[in-house]
């Protein structure tokens, strides 16, 4: 019955095998590097307790429990505009839309730009959730490679051959999920060049932007484009930020910062899709951000840096020849490339059986289904001792 009723796009929205597999990981004796989530022990709980109590106090209780504007809570949008300015992005409240996490921003941006058979440029590998969001709008994918010599015209030609046009390049710029890698300044500039040439948008996913542990910060692409063009409203880069990796993912508060013609369309979309993000959460997270953002992020950086260092050291110590990995300057992930004959999914099954260590196989992060010999390791959720032990076991498995 339902197959005749569902829309054509549903054929693109399928259950992830990984997700099904990871549901089996609840057993307490498993060391899991599979998640991609913050350590709950580091949540600023006391600050949230105070913020929610205050939000439900006399000054804002009505506003917190009532419907509110699709654009988002104005003081929070002002606060975010202030933070964006610190990153070189001069903007005001009207350049900011509050979304329910940056996942929602990705869904909206797919909806905003993709007609069926259009092309989205993404890196190989890329964030799985971006592919999930975009798939609903039935695009093709082509490979974004900031440092390649491939001509912009070639992208346009391939897209046209597939019955649409290139609509945007999606790039997770800092310590990307899944690789942990960062696009350097020259890479960012080259994406902007190509975007201008193709007249496409650039989606800058900055979910991990605050979590830099070493090295020097690189300006967001949106800042680089403002430097070229003089004003955010002349820019094609659409910046997606989030409080999920810094303060709390459970409140689902993220934002889009972009030119006003984009924000005004996204506001219509927000209104039609869920009216607005929860009023109470926006007021509360504004209070928490005001109370402790900088200081709390500093604390996270220290903790996660130690864990990253442990993981990189343990990898050096325990991995056999033929295994390579990225050297992230922040974020939550290290990405391993295994010898070509190995398959991450098969290795996971074996690892769960014999070593009780979990991770995410890398194939699903590739829009073309390539590179089965890769795996993603998360280091934000485990203590140093557990990281050492888990990587030791993984090395044992790989040395077979």
Partners of 255 in the β-ladder: 98, 241
Q: Of 118-147, which residues contact a copy of itself (CB under 8 A)? A: 118, 129, 132-133, 135-137
266 C-beta neighbours (distance < 10 Å), count: 24
**Which residue, 244 or 374, has its beta carbon nearer to a copy of itself?**
244
Q: Are 90 and 233 in contact (CB under 8 A)?
A: no
Q: Of 218-247, which residues contact a copy of itself (CB under 8 A)? A: 236, 244
Choices 34-42, 90-98, 204-212, 366-374 (CB under 8 A): range interacting with a copy of itself: 34-42
Q: Of 297-326, which residues contact a copy of itself (CB under 8 A)? A: none
**Which residue, 261 or 385, has its beta carbon nearer to a copy of itself?**
261
Among positions 22, 56, 87, 297, the unique one binding a copy of itself when judged by CB under 8 A: 56
Contacts of range 225-232, beta carbons closer than 8 Å, 24 or more positions apart: 225/192, 226/88, 226/89, 226/90, 227/88, 228/192, 231/90, 232/89, 232/90, 232/91, 232/95, 232/257, 232/258, 232/259
Residues in the chain: 400
Q: Does 355 bind a copy of itself (CB under 8 A)?
A: no
CA dihedral for 255, 256, 261, 264, sign (positive or negative): negative
Output DSSP code: residue 332: S
116 C-beta neighbours (distance < 10 Å), count: 13
Q: Of 146-185, which residues contact a copy of itself (CB under 8 A)? A: 167-168
**Which residue, 67 or 369, has its beta carbon nearer to a copy of itself?**
67
Choices 84-92, 223-231, 255-263, 323-331 (CB under 8 A): range interacting with a copy of itself: 255-263
**Which residue, 217 or 291, has its beta carbon nearer to a copy of itself?**
291
Among positions 248, 326, 380, 382, the unique one binding a copy of itself when judged by CB under 8 A: 248
Among positions 24, 25, 53, 227, the unique one binding a copy of itself when judged by CB under 8 A: 53
Choices 63-71, 178-186, 301-309, 349-357 (CB under 8 A): range interacting with a copy of itself: 63-71
- Smallest gap from Cβ 262 to a copy of itself, in A, equals 7
Among positions 183, 203, 280, 336, the unique one binding a copy of itself when judged by CB under 8 A: 280
The alpha helices in 230-278, defined as continuous H runs, are: 260-274
Q: Of 102-121, which residues contact a copy of itself (CB under 8 A)? A: 103-104, 107, 111-115, 118
Among positions 17, 24, 49, 370, the unique one binding a copy of itself when judged by CB under 8 A: 49
Choices 25-33, 193-201, 310-318, 336-344 (CB under 8 A): range interacting with a copy of itself: 193-201
Q: Does 21 bind a copy of itself (CB under 8 A)?
A: no
Among positions 262, 308, 323, 357, the unique one binding a copy of itself when judged by CB under 8 A: 262
Q: Does 7 bind a copy of itself (CB under 8 A)?
A: yes
* DSSP class per residue in 64-108: HHS---TT--HHHHHHHHHHHHHTT----GGGEEEESHHHHHHHH
Among positions 24, 25, 37, 186, the unique one binding a copy of itself when judged by CB under 8 A: 37
Question: How far is the C-alpha of 183 from the C-alpha of 257, rounded, in Å?
Answer: 20
With 0-12 / 13-18 / 19 or more C-beta atoms within 10 angstroms meaning exposed / middle / buried, residue 8 is: exposed
Q: Does 24 bind a copy of itself (CB under 8 A)?
A: no
User: Computed over its alpha carbons, how large is the radius of gyration of the chain?
Assistant: 21
Q: Does 14 bind a copy of itself (CB under 8 A)?
A: yes
Among positions 18, 81, 95, 100, the unique one binding a copy of itself when judged by CB under 8 A: 100
Phi, psi of 60 (to 5 degrees): -130, 10
- Smallest gap from Cβ 314 to a copy of itself, in A, equals 26
Partners of 239 in the β-ladder: 204, 257
Strands 333-337 and 324-325: antiparallel
């Amino acid at each position: 019955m339902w197959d005749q009723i569902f829309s054509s796009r549903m054929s693109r929205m399928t259950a992830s095998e990984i997700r099904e597999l990871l549901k089996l990981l609840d057993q307490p004796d498993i060391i899991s590097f599979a998640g991609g989530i913050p350590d709950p022990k580091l949540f600023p709980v006391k600050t949230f307790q105070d913020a929610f109590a205050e939000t439900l106090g006399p000054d804002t209780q009505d506003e917190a429990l009532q419907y509110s504007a699709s654009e988002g809570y104005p003081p929070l949008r002002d606060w975010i505009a202030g933070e964006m300015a610190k990153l070189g992005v001069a903007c005001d409240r009207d350049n900011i839309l509050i979304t329910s996490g940056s996942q929602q921003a990705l869904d909206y941006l797919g909806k905003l730009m993709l007609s069926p058979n259009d092309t989205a440029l993404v890196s190989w590998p890329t964030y799985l959730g971006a592919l999930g969001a975009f798939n609903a709008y039935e695009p093709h994918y082509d490979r974004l490679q900031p440092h390649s010599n491939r001509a912009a015209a070639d992208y346009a030609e391939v897209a046209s051959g597939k019955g649409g046009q290139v609509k945007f390049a999606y790039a997770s710029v800092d310590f990307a999920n899944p690789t942990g890698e960062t696009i350097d300044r020259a890479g960012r500039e080259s994406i902007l060049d190509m975007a201008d040439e193709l007249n496409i948008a650039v989606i800058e996913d900055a979910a991990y932007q605050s979590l830099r542990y070493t090295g020097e910060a690189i300006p967001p692409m949106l800042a680089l484009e403002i430097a070229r063009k003089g004003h955010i409203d002349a820019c094609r880069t659409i910046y997606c930020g989030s409080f999920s990796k810094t303060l709390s993912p459970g409140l689902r508060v993220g934002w889009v910062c972009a030119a006003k013609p984009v924000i005004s369309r996204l506001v219509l979309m927000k209104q039609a899709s869920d009216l607005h993000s929860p009023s109470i959460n926006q007021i509360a997270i504004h209070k928490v951000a005001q109370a402790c953002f900088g200081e709390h992020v500093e604390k996270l950086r220290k903790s996660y840096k130690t864990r990253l260092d442990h993981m990189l050291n343990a990898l050096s110590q325990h991995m056999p020849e033929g295994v390579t990995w990225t050297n992230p300057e922040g974020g939550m992930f290290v990405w391993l490339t295994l010898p070509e004959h190995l398959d991450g999914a098969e290795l996971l099954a074996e690892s769960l059986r014999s070593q009780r260590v979990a991770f995410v196989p890398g194939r699903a992060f590739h829009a073309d289904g390539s590179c089965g010999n890769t795996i993603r390791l998360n280091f934000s959720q485990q203590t140093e001792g557990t990281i050492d032990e888990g990587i030791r076991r993984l090395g044992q498995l790989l040395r077979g």
